[in-house]
């Protein structure tokens, strides 16, 4: 593995449906060996351990100190307790800084209450750091929500039904990476992604969509993005690389999903698998 300054590690490319090959949504952007996690679905910490064992040294559990939440759906947040407590037990000494929409503070408080007995026992009887389990939760609205020496992070509203849902743009001194979260097509996303180096976007297969009932078709068309719609988005934004994740394929397969996009978009596109690594 080369020492590229910026890496994208697709820790979880899955959906709410349980899948033995895909963990739920989580992406790591690593800049100068500092990881920033976007979402933390089921399997997040296990995937970071696997990535570390592959040679992504930045994803050691003790380094998992920055995370961002696109929206509060369970498949994007159900690994929150795992992210709070497991890295602490594996050597994290800093509090976890988490940035998310309204509801993050309540979720954080309830998780800490649920595991209060476990936390108290570990502090009393284990040689773990007394700060490594702590969480500083930051709720945000649109705009710049975070910056440090490596990145500037902007949040922008997307359309995922009734939830407060956001996409993010990560800007370094050399690159820009936009991640959609879950959303139907929006002008705001196109504006933020125009000319970016990488656009990471959710998608569903047009072919697979036809296998659904009318009620599910109504739902998915209202809050998600089809392969044909994503091709249109990419044609307008022209990212240097388009990465598909949160792929809803149903009766279609990955080759068919890619074909649906490539028939309408001539740029570089990859359908991500868990633990795929993209170096910039």
Residue entry with tokens 């503070």: 105
Please state the φ and ψ torsions of residue 251, each to the nearest 5 degrees.
Answer: -85, -5
| Measured CA distances, 61 to 82, 112, 149 (Å) | 11, 19, 21
What would you measure as the largest C-alpha separation in the chain, in angstroms? 60
CATH architecture of 6-279: 4-Layer Sandwich (3.60)
pLDDT of the chain along its 280 residues, tens only? 344 699 999 999 999 999 999 999 999 999 999 999 999 999 999 999 999 999 999 999 999 999 999 999 999 999 999 999 999 999 999 999 999 999 999 999 999 999 999 999 999 998 888 899 999 999 999 999 999 999 999 999 999 999 999 999 999 999 999 999 999 999 999 999 999 999 999 999 999 999 988 999 999 999 999 999 999 999 999 999 999 999 999 999 999 999 999 999 999 999 999 999 999 9
Cα–chain center distance at 1: 22
Tell me the two tokens of residue 117: 């007995």
Please state the φ and ψ torsions of residue 36, each to the nearest 5 degrees.
Answer: -125, 120
Burial code of 157-180, b = ≥16 C-beta within 10 A, e = fewer? Answer: bbbbeebbbbbbbbbbeebbbbbb
């Amino acid at each position: 593995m080369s020492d590229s300054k910026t890496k994208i590690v697709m820790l979880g490319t899955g959906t709410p449906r349980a899948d033995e090959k895909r963990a739920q949504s989580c992406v790591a952007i690593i800049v100068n060996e500092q990881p920033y996690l976007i979402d933390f679905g089921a399997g997040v910490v296990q995937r970071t351990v696997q990535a570390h064992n592959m040679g992504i040294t930045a994803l050691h559990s003790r380094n998992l100190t920055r995370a961002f939440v696109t929206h509060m759906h369970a498949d994007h947040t159900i690994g929150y307790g795992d992210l709070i407590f497991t890295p602490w037990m594996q050597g994290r000494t800093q509090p976890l800084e988490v940035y998310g929409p309204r509801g993050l503070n309540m979720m954080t408080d309830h998780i800490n209450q649920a595991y209060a007995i476990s936390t108290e026992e570990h502090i009393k009887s284990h040689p773990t750091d007394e700060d490594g389990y702590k969480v500083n939760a930051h709720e945000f609205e649109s705009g710049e929500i975070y910056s440090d020496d490596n990145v500037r992070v902007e949040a922008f509203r997307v359309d995922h039904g009734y939830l407060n849902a956001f996409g993010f743009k990560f800007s370094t001194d050399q690159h820009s990476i936009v991640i959609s979260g879950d959303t139907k097509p929006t002008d705001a996303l196109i504006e933020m992604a125009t000319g970016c180096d990488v656009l990471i976007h959710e998608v569903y297969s047009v072919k697979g969509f036809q296998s659904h009932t009318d009620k599910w078709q109504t739902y998915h068309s209202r809050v998600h993005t089809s392969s044909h719609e994503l091709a249109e988005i990419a044609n307008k934004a022209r990212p240097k690389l388009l990465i598909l994740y949160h792929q809803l394929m149903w009766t279609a397969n990955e080759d068919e999903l890619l074909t649906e996009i490539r028939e309408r978009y001539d740029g570089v596109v990859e359908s991500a698998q868990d633990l795929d690594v993209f170096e910039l």
